[in-house]
Structure 1
Amino acid sequence: MSEDADKNMSREERLAEKLRENLRRRKSQARKMTESRGETLPKGEQGS
């Protein structure tokens, strides 16, 4: 995100964007950990 975009966004929008970024990063980390251990989750449990 650029500084100009940050200035035009409300506090709630900035927090929501940071939350989405954090969630993406954590999901990616969890996937890598699961793959490195050779485990997979059943399809119904992956999105929880």
Structure 2
Amino acid sequence: MTGDQGKGAGKTAADVKDSRRDRLKLALRENLKRRKSQARGRSDSGASSESPNASLDDASGEKPGQ
């Protein structure tokens, strides 16, 4: 009984690696979902600003309509 102290309460190295792998897998999946939703949000807002009058000046430096 005294030899069991400090060994992770009976967990083996394989159990620790599996739990770590599962936590990392879950974190990566959540990160991917978050990044996809951010990309969708950027593409939605970017499409609305591509109207012809969105920019106040063009490459020649003149204002549109003048």
TM-score using structure 2 length:
0.47
Unaligned regions of 5+ residues in structure 2, if any? 1-5, 42-66
Counterpart pick for 1:16 among 15, 18, 29: 18
Percent identical among aligned pairs is: 0
CA RMSD of aligned residues (A): 1.9
Pair member with larger Rg: 2
**Higher RCO (CA-CA < 8 Å; seq separation 6+):** 1
Query: Once superposed, which parts of structure 1, at least 4 consecutive aligned residues long, lie more than 2 Å away?
Result: none
TM-score (norm 1): 0.63
Cα distance in 1, alignment partners of residues 16 and 9 from structure 2: 9
Aligned-residue offset at 1:7: 3.3
- What one-letter code is carried by the residue in structure 1 that aligns with 2:19? E
Structure 1 letter corresponding to 2:30: S
Aligned residue number for residue 28 of structure 1: 30
C-alpha deviation, 1:8, in angstroms: 1.7
- Structure 1 runs not aligned, ≥5 long: 40-48
